[in-house]
Amino acid sequence: MTPLTPENQAQDDPLAPIRRSFLGHLGDRCLAIDAILERDGGRGIGREEREVIIHHAHRTAGLAASLGFETLGRLASAVESAWTRTPPGDDGTGPALEVTLRFLDEIERVLDEDLVA
């Protein structure tokens, strides 16, 4: 049996190149969101920072489930909804922050799993 490599996996799985690209961008999204939350311990998240979090969550939610990352997709959708529903002036320490932290944990889990595979 031929060992599975990125080259022959792409032949067997037409989504492999898309999945690789998605995973590559996922790390950048995680770092961007994490940097926002690290500033002031996640307090005082302004409108622009919220928009960045919502954008990254939206981009992740749009493709995650289609590529087999159902939990990641659900969490990304929850992050997008939570930050969209959080009223302006809210410091971002409530439910939106909680679901965002779970989302970041799931991104790290997915990326770690990919490294092992």
Residues 32-80 pLDDT 10s: 999 998 886 656 788 888 999 999 999 999 899 999 999 999 999 999 9
Do residues 103 and 71 lie in contact, with contact meaning Cβ atoms separated by under 8 Å?
Answer: no
CA dihedral 28, 31, 112, 6 (to 10 degrees): 10
Distance between CA atoms of 113 and 75, rounded to whole angstroms?
17
Do residues 60 and 110 lie in contact, with contact meaning Cβ atoms separated by under 8 Å?
Answer: no
Delineate the domains of the chain, giving CATH numbers in brackets.
16-116 (1.20.120)
Do residues 76 and 92 lie in contact, with contact meaning Cβ atoms separated by under 8 Å?
Answer: no
Could you tell me the two tokens for 114?
A: 């990919």
Which comes out higher in pLDDT, residue 5 or 27?
27
Confidence check: pLDDT of 1 > 50: no
Name residue, tokens 């809210």: 90
Distance between CA atoms of 53 and 100, rounded to whole angstroms?
9
- Per the prediction, the chain carries an average pLDDT of 85
Could you tell me the two tokens for 80?
A: 């997008």
Distance between CA atoms of 68 and 40, rounded to whole angstroms?
35
Could you tell me the two tokens for 48?
A: 């622009």
